[in-house]
Structure 1
Amino acid sequence: MKQHFPLKNVQQEKRLFRSRIFIAIGLVVLCFSALIARYVYLQIFHFNEFATASDNNRIRLQPLAPARGYIYDRNGVLLADNYPVFTATLSKADVDDIDNTVKALMPILGLNQEDVDRFNSRIKTAKKTERVTLKLNLNETEIAKFSEVKYKFPGVKIETQMTRYYPYGELFAHVIGYVGRINDKELKSINKDVYAGTNLIGKIGVEKYYEDLLHGTPGNESVEADAHGNVLRYLGRKDPVRGNDLYLSLDYGLQTVASEQLAGRRGAIVAMDPRTGEILAMVSSPSFNPNLFVSGISSKDYTALRDNLDQPLYNRALQGVYPPGSTIKPVEGLGGINYNVINWGTKIVDPGYFHLPGDSHKFRDWKKGGHGIVDLNKAIQESCDTYFYTLASQMGIEHMNDWMRQFGFGAKTGIDLPNENSGLYPSPEWKMRTRKAKWLRGETISVSIGQGAFTATPIQLAMATSIVSNQGNHLIPHVLSSSKGSKPFPIRNAPDGKVVFNGTEDDWLKMREAMVNVINSGTGRGIRTSAYQIAGKTGTAQVKSIAQGKKYNESILTERQLDHGLFVGFAPADNPQIAIAVILENGRHGGAAAQLARPVFDYWMVQRKNNPIRPTLHQVTGSLMTAGIQPGQLPSGDNILQADPNAVPNKDKNKPKAKPPHATAPSAPQAEITE
């Protein structure tokens, strides 16, 4: 039996086939559209984002720290230099387990806990590709140990970086200061982009005050690196700009002479140019070696400096506050003329003491029996206390305060160094505010001879003396003479105002003559010289209070209870070129301080012109060894002794609180004070 099959529907099959083709084509088009859309999304709309992410796997932007600017004295003697050291650095982009890596490196690199803590603080805020310092100034043994196991520590490198050293150690320590490792507090306030790759920052002195000028501008370089952080090739570079070179007004020779006078003593000497306000020398004794602080001072060394009874870390020239004693009498005498209380002919009879009307208390003169008939010239020449007791009682504390502040007492001078002390010129308002008590008339008498609550710093005394010498031109002391580099900085070497004085120019000249008499035949006659004329004033400040009616007995006092000796002066008297302030702690009398000033005057007025003092190679080498630096580490070709102040040094710019001494004084002088 035959089976019959229906005929095929050709048209229906064609329609089905065509629909399948259209569906397949649609799916292909849809897939290609999605692929194209994704390609557009990645390559056009997000190209920069993903290109950067891709390049970061192999291309890195590494910061280049700028070299610090050099610091010179006025003659081009190099006071702060840079030298290369080997430094261990780590990049967190190339290290998975930073903590264990650092722990393993401790015995190899000789890391102590301070190094680790400092590194941990910095690595937390560092950029991923930034290299953070583990340890500065590696020695040969540490470098050799690391070289043997380098393959175990991808991302850790030994690099050459520039650091600081001070050729003359203690000589300029308090003025120039030092740099040190950036600490946690500084890390929070600095611009991290500006300090990328930098370990050091100014801590005190010129290094801190002019940090922005000295630091320079960082650069960077683009490198291609492998997975281990090793540089394969350099792709581009923006050179860093070295910081400005600073030329200070300090004179190496004068600083040396002043330092020699205070050797083994406690005190300060400040010398300045009364025409410009430039600081010529500033010495605080004892001093310290600033090189110890650059790579991180040990706890033992710092404790020894901090706990030293002589306080070498304390800058007595700027921060030490002392009763100025009789050194302020020339200023006070001019104040009496200003307020028409006295003139040059005003005389008193000095019996050796003074008492206020209606008060039996005696304010004694330093000279028992008194000075007889005294006018202003003689009062300055012989430092007659009674004359100034009388003047103060008539002038009053308000007038005294207004006048003395014109000469800088009771306020910071504005010198371009950090941490200056303002001293204190007391007033009724000050006493009520701080001690909740009324001002007593006897306190005015005490203040009149630089005692009581009146305190001043050596820099204030130098400024006030300069103003007297230049006939009332007010000056702001400064140590920066010029700045050369990419950052312009104006320097003002001129008076910034004038004392308001109701007297005449002749009054200034007569006061100058009285101060000359102090040196020629008065309390400062021990430093008289025929080579040039000195004008000056001695002073003595009590340290130990002596009760009323008791006699000052030096033999029963300890060495640190003896009176301070002070001296201020200028030379040559008829055309002042240098003004000096000296404080000799426990020096007993002002004449001793004057003796220290004489060699400083002699050097500036006589020796400097024909036989200036210049540093020797032996001095520099000795300081290097003290700092743990071998002379061979210095860049070849560097002239570390002297440079042309008009030339830029020939160096590769792209290479990698202690308690202040404060002399306490009685509220009123009650014992003999020998000037």
Structure 2
Amino acid sequence: MNLRKFSILSILLLAVLVALTACGNHQPTAKERMDDYVKAWQKQDFSKMYGLLSKQSQKSVKKSDFIARYKRIYEGIEAGKMTATVTDGKKSTDGAVHLNASLSTVAGPVKFSQNIQLKKEKRKDTANWYVNWTPSMILPGMNADSKVRVDTLPSTRGEIVDRNGKPLAINGTAARIDLIPGKMGTDSDKTQTIQTLTKLLGVSKEQIDTALAASWVKVDSLVPITTVDATKTDLIKKVTQLPGVVKTDVNSRVYPDNNASAHLIGYVGNMTAELLKKHPNEGYNANSVIGKTGLELLFEKQLRQRDGASIIRLDSTGAEVGTIAKKEPVNGQNIQLTIDRNVQDAMYSQLKKDAGTGVAIDPRNGDILGLVSAPSYNPNDFVLGMSSSAYKKLSDDPKQPLLNRFTTATAPGSTFKALTAAIALTHKSIDPNQAVAINGTKWQANKSWGDYYVTRLDHDPEVNLQEALYRSDNIYFAQAALKIGGSTFASDAKKFGFGETLPIQYPMRKSTISNNGKLDSQTLLANSGYGQGQVTVNPLHLSLIYSAFVNDGSMIKPRLIKTNDPPTFWKKNVMSPEIAQLLNKDLIEVVNNSAGTAHDAKINGITLAGKTGTPEFKKKQGKSGRENGWFVAYNTDNPQLMVTMVVENTQKHGGSHYVTPKVKKVFEDVLKP
């Protein structure tokens, strides 16, 4: 081998060996060592952090005290994510570094900007850098004697009011019922008091005994038993007359409209572990309140409050010496609805003994004036804490008071005939003035229908459109639907919003013309013409359809939040102005004509237009079965109120005739003729 080549190869091999040896013996710089400390700090691995302290620092604080102090303070301030950068000092060899860091806490970010000195020490025959630690590395400004206090800066949840400012969900007070053990008298007196409380408050003896037996309870302690609605003054007076029973006012969410607006407004409740998992990193904690149902849930982001906090540095005497971090509280936003509590209460008054729903709108601008579901419940009971037996009673009730009925969609019956008429007139499938001959009360298009017939109650031998509407003639509208044709009927139904989500913040069930959106069978088409078959309509949607009769053929867009913006239309020109005006006059006859199905809703001084409906839910034609009663009505002179009401199971009460007087009373209460 060439000697020159051998020498070069030897030199290269030697260089590689030197480099490998150097890599194996690499000593971290002070910055790298501080980076290790920061990584442990970010993980809140306080044990590892202590191991990286200099001997001098370890002499100043025991490991157990170091860990305990960090843990106690960081848990108290809810320390979270930490971001940090470490830079070398002026001389990279003197162990000086600079730390810039930000630690998230309950009071916002805590900023660190500190010069830190590391010291080179030999341990187990190995030299390395170790941190000269000071208490200011727990939190800025701290010394060995410093303490920390966290103050909560309270905020308030946004309130919900109606269009006139009347309260629907507010921040008020409730009455907490407490016991003072030392003032309950003799054992006999205590037994009697507990027995009376169980009867009056619905709490169990075991619950009271457990509360009194808690380890913290002393003779002069206030022992909370339950919380009740502050408006139940008679109940509160009775219980506080018992020996040792007192009332304490506590902050509470309050629903002044009680059962009438329960499904609409909903209620709040305490945060649960499950909900915390669903809302990570959103500022909630175990003590938070959150909307559980209704608008309290839907508008949670706007309504929720965010408490502030201060991290206060104290000296050894407990005196305040500085503020480490502070986050101002943020109150929730107040929300003003289009709802009119007078309308809401008027509808609920008529429905509260039944199972049903009521929807009221201003048909000119789309303002929703009322949304009622009955039977109902008192949302205050949920906020204050409902017993399992009380909840079971609600959930087992066959009338389903927890069900929100104004969000559902069901068969509309004859209220649908106005839409059939509008589509038929648009396509000139019918002549409104032509008298159509109909024989008897049963009809079928042809023998292929077998045993199936369309039936009607009225048997006038000839009816035109107006008569068919005010007499509610099923056969006339079944024939009209067949003249329109299935594909045209289904297509035009989409123009009225069938199959679409209603343009409103509150989730409503979509209305459907059929299960598959088609009307491809003759009997299904005929039945659909008078609101049976597979047609389902949400009561708010029906109101929007009827708003076209007020607005020259366009359907108003609904509004739930009060605004000064001009109204807009959801569906423009679903019918011509001429058709809208014609049907408006015909719908007046439903109420005004003595033969009209809603004649019992006639009010002196107020002209109403509307349509009744009594959809049937029968397993077999010709047999008796369940019926619902519908009535939609609006005042025609300066229209300002439209009410759609549905009552379930009216088969023994006259169908829609059970509903018309209820709607009439709402108009009388609200418009006061």
SS at match of 1:254: helix
Match of 1:331 in 2: 419
The answer to whether the 8 A contact 2:211-2:223 is kept is: no
Which of 138, 156, 162 is equivalent to 1:53? 138
- What is the alpha-carbon distance in structure 1 between the residues aligned to residue 656 and residue 249 of structure 2? 53
The answer to whether the 8 A contact 1:354-1:390 is kept is: no
1:563 aligns with 2:627: yes
Distance 1:357 1:41, change over 3 A: closer
Which of 593, 596, 600 is equivalent to 1:526? 600
Which amino acid is 1:291 matched to?
N
Which amino acid is 1:446 matched to?
N
Unaligned runs of 5+ in 1: 1-30, 88-105, 113-138, 144-158, 432-437, 483-490, 554-560, 608-675
Distance 1:497 1:565, change over 3 A: closer
Which amino acid is 1:422 matched to?
K
Q: CA deviation at 1:265?
A: 1.0
The answer to whether the 8 A contact 2:160-2:170 is kept is: yes
Q: Deviations over 1:347-387 (max 9, x none)?
A: 3211133322452545233226x222111111111111111
Distance 1:360 1:295, change over 3 A: closer
Match of 1:44 in 2: 115
- What is the alpha-carbon distance in structure 2 between the residues aligned to residue 48 and residue 422 of structure 1? 65
The answer to whether the 8 A contact 1:171-1:287 is kept is: yes
Distance 1:297 1:325, change over 3 A: same
Match of 1:134 in 2: none
1:268 aligns with 2:342: no
The answer to whether the 8 A contact 1:277-1:476 is kept is: yes
- What is the alpha-carbon distance in structure 2 between the residues aligned to residue 515 and residue 343 of structure 1? 17
Match of 1:363 in 2: 453
Unaligned runs of 5+ in 2: 1-55, 57-89, 100-113, 118-131, 177-206, 214-220, 226-247
Match of 1:558 in 2: none
- What is the alpha-carbon distance in structure 2 between the residues aligned to residue 481 and residue 304 of structure 1? 36
The answer to whether the 8 A contact 1:416-1:480 is kept is: no
Distance 1:364 1:358, change over 3 A: closer
Q: CA deviation at 1:574?
A: 3.8
Match of 1:340 in 2: 428
Q: CA deviation at 1:187?
A: 1.3
- What is the alpha-carbon distance in structure 1 between the residues aligned to residue 150 and residue 209 of structure 2? 29
1:508 aligns with 2:605: no
Distance 1:41 1:372, change over 3 A: closer
1:421 aligns with 2:516: no
- What is the alpha-carbon distance in structure 2 between the residues aligned to residue 541 and residue 41 of structure 1? 79
- What is the alpha-carbon distance in structure 2 between the residues aligned to residue 402 and residue 68 of structure 1? 46
The answer to whether the 8 A contact 1:69-1:214 is kept is: yes
Q: Deviations over 1:506-538 (max 9, x none)?
A: 221110000000001111111112211000101
SS at match of 1:468: coil
SS at match of 2:562: strand
- What is the alpha-carbon distance in structure 2 between the residues aligned to residue 179 and residue 277 of structure 1? 28
Which stretch has the larger CA shift, 350-359 or 309-318? 350-359
Q: CA deviation at 1:237?
A: 4.3
Distance 1:426 1:360, change over 3 A: closer
1:499 aligns with 2:572: yes
Which stretch has the larger CA shift, 517-526 or 452-461? 452-461
- What is the alpha-carbon distance in structure 2 between the residues aligned to residue 440 and residue 231 of structure 1? 84
- What is the alpha-carbon distance in structure 1 between the residues aligned to residue 598 and residue 164 of structure 2? 32
Distance 1:497 1:263, change over 3 A: closer
SS at match of 2:329: coil
Which stretch has the larger CA shift, 206-215 or 195-204? 195-204
Question: Where does 1:8-157 land on structure 2 (aligned, <5 Å)?
Answer: 37-38=94-95, 44-45=115-116, 51-54=136-139, 58-59=147-148, 64-83=153-172, 110=211, 140-142=222-224
1:349 aligns with 2:437: yes
TM-score (norm 2): 0.65
Query: How many aligned positions are there?
Result: 486
SS at match of 1:531: coil
Distance 1:358 1:75, change over 3 A: same
Question: Where does 1:570-649 land on structure 2 (aligned, <5 Å)?
Answer: 570-571=634-635, 573-588=636-651, 589-606=655-672
- What is the alpha-carbon distance in structure 1 between the residues aligned to residue 505 and residue 257 of structure 2? 21
- What is the alpha-carbon distance in structure 2 between the residues aligned to residue 396 and residue 111 of structure 1? 74
Distance 1:363 1:495, change over 3 A: farther
- What is the alpha-carbon distance in structure 2 between the residues aligned to residue 322 and residue 231 of structure 1? 67
Q: Deviations over 1:420-454 (max 9, x none)?
A: 22243216x457xxxxxx94221111111111221
Q: CA deviation at 1:301?
A: 2.3
- What is the alpha-carbon distance in structure 2 between the residues aligned to residue 111 and residue 192 of structure 1? 38
Distance 1:527 1:422, change over 3 A: same
Which amino acid is 2:430 matched to?
I
SS at match of 1:481: coil
Match of 1:448 in 2: 529
Distance 1:192 1:164, change over 3 A: farther
Which amino acid is 1:470 matched to?
N
Which amino acid is 1:566 matched to?
W
- What is the alpha-carbon distance in structure 2 between the residues aligned to residue 82 and residue 234 of structure 1? 33
The answer to whether the 8 A contact 1:410-1:456 is kept is: no
The structure whose RCO (Cα within 8 Å, separation 6+) is larger is: 1
- What is the alpha-carbon distance in structure 1 between the residues aligned to residue 283 and residue 262 of structure 2? 26
- What is the alpha-carbon distance in structure 1 between the residues aligned to residue 556 and residue 374 of structure 2? 25
- What is the alpha-carbon distance in structure 1 between the residues aligned to residue 445 and residue 460 of structure 2? 19
Distance 1:85 1:604, change over 3 A: closer
Q: Deviations over 1:600-619 (max 9, x none)?
A: 11222226xxxxxxxxxxxx
Q: Deviations over 1:219-258 (max 9, x none)?
A: 2212236899x89677364431211111111222222211
Distance 1:232 1:83, change over 3 A: farther
Distance 1:461 1:204, change over 3 A: same
Distance 1:86 1:253, change over 3 A: closer
- What is the alpha-carbon distance in structure 2 between the residues aligned to residue 537 and residue 298 of structure 1? 43
SS at match of 1:250: coil
Match of 2:399 in 1: 310
Distance 1:581 1:160, change over 3 A: closer
Q: CA deviation at 1:332?
A: 1.1
Distance 1:493 1:305, change over 3 A: farther
The answer to whether the 8 A contact 1:254-1:600 is kept is: yes
- What is the alpha-carbon distance in structure 1 between the residues aligned to residue 316 and residue 412 of structure 2? 68
Which amino acid is 1:187 matched to?
L
Distance 1:284 1:339, change over 3 A: same
Distance 1:184 1:323, change over 3 A: same
The answer to whether the 8 A contact 1:336-1:395 is kept is: yes
Distance 1:54 1:576, change over 3 A: closer
- What is the alpha-carbon distance in structure 2 between the residues aligned to residue 111 and residue 388 of structure 1? 70
Identical-residue share of aligned pairs (%): 27
Which amino acid is 1:591 matched to?
H
Match of 1:259 in 2: 348
Distance 1:530 1:234, change over 3 A: farther
- What is the alpha-carbon distance in structure 1 between the residues aligned to residue 98 and residue 667 of structure 2? 80
The answer to whether the 8 A contact 2:552-2:578 is kept is: no
SS at match of 1:280: strand
Which amino acid is 1:343 matched to?
D
Q: CA deviation at 1:469?
A: 2.7
